[in-house]
């Protein structure tokens, strides 16, 4: 059986009882380590708690060498551990499809993800529109299609959860043509960086204002969880500490949402 097991939001004990029982019986256990990361470096804690060796599955293995993960999964029990929920990224959906195409039995164990835990700030999940991803800009590449989706959500009175870029084991441009790859240091977008890019877009495209209400959430589900509600302009200067961060652009705000969100606010909440 090929299992895809959600780990939740980052603590070693966030795994479900069902997930833990599966991991303990598996012959091989992989940890997918590029679409998201654990809030703290707890690999050794995982090995101890699960009673298993953990094989790190980086981007190259997951995207280009998935056969390594699926090898013998028709006669062995193999688990891929995923931070959050298994279906939070299309990469995991693709792996499940590949397994089924190879006649390998599959089973998915769900868990909490940022897609539902974003409600920790008090904004109601059924008031969210389409989720967007904000990538790091470069000098020559500044995509802004995500902005249009945020504006569309806001025009309907809906909030937008913005997932912020994570770059782990990204090869340098110089090494792409070489036999030996060299990698850039890991980078994790902060809410201030995301807000800065959004503010830059507002200079040439209508739809958002720098006075619009935004919510920054960091390290959700951990002991150091941090939430700030302020204007998009102020968010550009907000330091929320260590990753992972997510940004929410607020649509129309209900009185109950406003009351809950006020405890994290640096301004009057008008949405």
**216-263 pLDDT, tens per residue?**
999 999 889 999 999 999 999 999 999 999 999 999 999 999 999 999
Burial profile 96-105: b = 16 or more Cβ within 10 angstroms, e = fewer: bebbeeeebe
Say yes or no to pLDDT of 39 above 70. no
Q: Which domains does the chain have, with CATH numbers?
A: 2-112 (3.40.1010.10), 115-263 (3.30.950.10)
What integer is the mean pLDDT of 66-80?
93
Name the binding residues for S-adenosyl-L-methionine.
Answer: 9, 85, 88, 113-114, 164, 220, 245
Average pLDDT over residues 102-118: 95
Three-state secondary structure readout of 119-174: HHHCCCHHHECCCEEECCCCCCCCCCHHHHHHHHHHHCCCEEEEEECEECCCECHH
Binding site residue list: 9, 85, 88, 113-114, 164, 220, 245
How confident is the model at residue 71, as a pLDDT? 93
Residue 267: pLDDT band (50, 70, 90) is low
Is beta strand 213-218 parallel, antiparallel or unpaired with respect to 245-249? antiparallel
pTM over 0.85: yes
Q: What is the mean pLDDT of residues 39-45?
A: 69
pLDDT for 268 beyond 80: no
Nearest CA-CA partner of 167 in 35, 30, 7, 10: 35
**Cross-sheet strand order for the sheet of 55-57:** 55-57, 28-32, 78-82, 2-6, 106-109
Q: Which two tokens stand for residue 169?
A: 């084991």
Q: What is the pLDDT of residue 91?
A: 77
**In this predicted model, what pLDDT tens digit does every residue of 7-34 receive, in sequence order?**
998 788 899 999 999 999 999 999 987 6
Q: In angstroms, rounded to a whole number, what is the distance separating the alpha carbons of residues 257 and 124? A: 7
pLDDT, residue 171, reads 67
The tokens of 234 are what?
């102020």
Query: Minimum mean pLDDT among 102-106, 176-180, 207-211, 250-254: which range?
Result: 176-180
Between CA 57 and CA 43 the distance in angstroms is: 13
Higher pLDDT, 210 or 40: 210
Tell me which residue of 159, 154, 141 sits closest to 206, measured CA to CA.
154
What is the CB neighbour count within 10 angstroms for residue 178? 10
Tell me, what's the pLDDT at 40? 56
Q: Cβ(77)–Cβ(109) under 8 Å?
A: no
Cα 202 to Cα 191: distance, rounded to the nearest angstrom: 17
């Amino acid at each position: 059986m090929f299992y895809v097991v959600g780990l939740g939001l980052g603590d070693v004990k966030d795994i479900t009882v069902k997930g833990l029982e599966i991991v303990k019986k598996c012959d091989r256990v992989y940890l997918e380590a590029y679409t998201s990361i654990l809030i703290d470096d707890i690999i050794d804690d995982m090995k101890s708690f699960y009673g298993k060796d953990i094989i790190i599955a980086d981007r190259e293995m997951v995207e280009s060498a998935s056969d390594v993960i699926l090898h013998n999964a028709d006669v062995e029990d193999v688990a891929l551990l995923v931070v959050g929920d298994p279906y939070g990224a299309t990469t995991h959906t693709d792996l499940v499809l590949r397994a089924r195409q190879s006649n390998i039995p599959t089973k998915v164990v769900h868990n909490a993800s940022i897609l539902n835990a974003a409600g920790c700030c008090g904004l109601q999940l059924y008031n969210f529109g389409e989720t967007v991803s904000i990538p790091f800009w470069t000098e020559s590449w500044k995509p802004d299609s995500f902005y249009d989706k945020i504006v569309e959500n806001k025009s309907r009175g809906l909030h937008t959860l913005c997932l912020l870029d994570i770059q782990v084991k990204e090869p340098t441009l110089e090494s792409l043509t070489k036999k030996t790859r060299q990698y850039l240091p890991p980078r994790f977008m902060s809410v201030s960086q995301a807000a800065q890019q959004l503010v830059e877009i507002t200079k040439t495209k209508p739809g958002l204002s720098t006075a619009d209400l935004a919510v920054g959430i960091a390290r959700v589900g951990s002991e150091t969880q941090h939430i700030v509600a302020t204007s998009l302009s102020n968010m550009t200067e907000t330091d929320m500490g260590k990753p992972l961060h997510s940004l929410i652009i607020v649509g129309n705000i209900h009185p109950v949402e406003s009351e809950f969100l006020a405890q994290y606010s640096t301004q009057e909440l008008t949405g």
